[in-house]
Amino acid sequence: MNTRSSIQVKVRGRIRSLNMTGNLEMINNLRKFIDVLDAAGELTRVAKEVDPVLEISRLTDCESKKPQGGKALFFTHVHESRFPVATNLFGSPRRIRMALNVDELDDLGRRVQRYIDLHPPRSFKDILDLIPLVTDAVKFFPRSFRSKHPPSGSGLHPRRCRSG
């Protein structure tokens, strides 16, 4: 898929342009990924109440056995639970590419290969050539927050978060 075609979709009330893999910007949280899947037609929302013990797994199993891995499922009403459940999010090559922000999975392998083939710099030019790799590498590490409260917009209530 070397050709890039984009579509306009509405995500949470805002018009966004998506490429063939589903996004132009980095997906940095699960909520955003679910919104992107929904906008790209890769998500089925299940509004009826479902049993978390056997029903969710049965429905997910049936969906994942469909051609191309079926669709991701988002269960909004889980019996005796305050939380929704998302399954089969990475059940197709297209959704994996969307999550990793690559057109082909081999693109990711090539990105990793650049770090494997890295040699110590021998000149000032070699050091300057490393700057883009270093800035990309910084994005790999998990971020930590000084506050004990979750980031705003995370959907979590501060009193429900316990720190160890």
Q: What is the pLDDT along the chain (164 residues), one digit of tens a residue?
A: 334 444 455 555 555 555 444 434 567 789 999 999 999 999 999 999 999 988 999 999 999 999 999 999 999 999 999 999 999 999 999 999 888 888 888 887 888 888 888 888 899 998 898 888 888 777 766 666 666 555 554 444 444 434 33
Which residue in the block uniquely carries the two structure tokens 């000032």? 124
- CA 64 – CA 34 distance, rounded (Å): 17
Kindly state the tokens that stand for 99: 């999550």
Q: Which residues, in sequence order, are CB contacts of 136 under 8 Å at separation 6+?
A: 111
pTM of the model: 0.60
DSSP 158: G
Judged by DSSP in three states, 7 sits in: strand
Q: H or E element: which one contains 44?
A: strand 43-46
